[in-house]
Structure 1
Amino acid sequence: MSSPTADVSVRIAWGDDAGAIAELQLRTWRTSYADLVPMDALPTDVAGAAEAWRQSLAASKDARNRVLVALERNRVVGFAITSPAADPDCDPVADAELMELTIDPDERGKGHGSRLLQAAVDTMRADRFTRAVLWAMSTDDALRGFLTEAGWAPDTAHRELDLDGDGTTRVRQVRLHTQFS
């Protein structure tokens, strides 16, 4: 006798997912950026963010821009964004960027991240990319460890972002990459 399996999947995001993606993104930012940015500086307008997501999902500028959602039953528990890499040292024909990989903090450790990452890699391969990059906060040991275990590695690229525009809140990022075989 086999045990029941979880009702989990990953698929391309639909316009109807915009609200769930926006809510998850804004809630996750409150956790991810808690030590970097004052809470009142983070966006809280889920409706506005959902509308931005709806527009983005409806009219992509490049067919290789993709948003994937990880689902448990019908509930969005994570999302990933893939696109051609825009870094000056990348080739936008051969290099993809995993622009975001977000899993609901309450749903981590349940396999959603692994499924979502694998689906993102499969999608980038299907779009004929041969390499992918991702920028991670230098302090995000959990994400960097997760990606390293999945075969990604840091390269020599790093950058510093000015989150508030006046130099008060700076975030250092490192770039990780992986080759597709």
Structure 2
Amino acid sequence: MVHVREMDEADIEAVSTIRVRGWQAAYAGIVPQTYLDAMTVEGDAGQRRQWFSQPGRKSRDLVELGDRGPVGWISFGPYRGEMPGLERVGEVYALYISPDLIGQGIGRTLLGEAHAQMKGQGFETSALWVLCDNQRARRFYERAGYQAGEGAQDEVYDGITLRELRYQRVL
């Protein structure tokens, strides 16, 4: 049975584990291994606690629960940039699933719930950023109705510059 709910502070350790292991699995061979190896659950959890307790934060965080707690996490909210010609744009900031559970529909469920909530908040479009070389994620989002737009940006990881593409879809 699938159960998606709002993330709470008690979920931080589990979400940080999902995020760190998700990064290490999804970005192996894309992001420098030194960067991935330096990621720790403890460090991520500390940052997440600070971020989670910020007053007035506009993001929403959902978790999907398995038998022993969270198995997936999505964070979304208002778009953090500008998209000329579009108003009321939401953004998926992050979506990570326990690597051993990828392919079981957890990401699809979380993304669908995020889309429903964004639409309920008045957003008309959803955008997100994907590393150009992350073919698996690109295929996932394309199956969910996203298309690569004109936006692109570069991110630097341990001195290596990687290109991100902006994807978007109508809600």
Query: Residue type matched to 2:22 in 1?
Result: T
**1:76 aligned residue:** 70
Q: Structure 2 regions of 5+ residues with no counterpart?
A: none
Output aligned runs, 1:157-168, within 5 Å. 157-164=151-158, 168=159
Query: Residue type matched to 1:54 in 2?
Result: R
Matching of residue 54 in structure 1 with residue 77 in structure 2: no
Matching of residue 138 in structure 1 with residue 129 in structure 2: no
86, 97, 102: which is aligned to 1:103? 97
Segment drifting more, 39-48 vs 67-76: 39-48
Deviation, structure 1 residue 85: 0.6
**1:156 aligned residue:** 150
151, 162, 170: which is aligned to 2:161? 170
SS in 2 for 1:162: strand
1:85-112 residue CA offsets vs partner (Å, 9 max, x unmatched): 1123368960111011111111011111
- For residues 67 and 109 of structure 1, the distance between their equivalents in structure 2, rounded to whole angstroms, comes to 21
Structure of larger gyration radius:
1
Report the TM-score, using the length of structure 2 for normalisation: 0.89
**1:94 aligned residue:** 88
Q: Structure 1 regions of 5+ residues with no counterpart?
A: 1-6
Query: Residue type matched to 2:144 in 1?
Result: A
Percent identity of paired positions between Structure 1 and Structure 2? 27
Aligned partners of 2:149 and 2:167 also within 8 Å: yes
CA RMSD of aligned residues (A): 2.0
Segment drifting more, 133-142 vs 52-61: 52-61
SS in 2 for 1:139: coil
- For residues 70 and 84 of structure 2, the distance between their equivalents in structure 1, rounded to whole angstroms, comes to 31
Deviation, structure 1 residue 12: 0.9
Deviation, structure 1 residue 84: 0.8
1:34-69 residue CA offsets vs partner (Å, 9 max, x unmatched): 22444343334322321322232233533x411111
1:179/1:169 CA distance change after superposition, 3 Å: same
Larger RCO (CA within 8 A; separation ≥ 6): 2
Report the TM-score, using the length of structure 1 for normalisation: 0.84
**1:115 aligned residue:** 109
**1:147 aligned residue:** 141
1:10/1:128 CA distance change after superposition, 3 Å: same
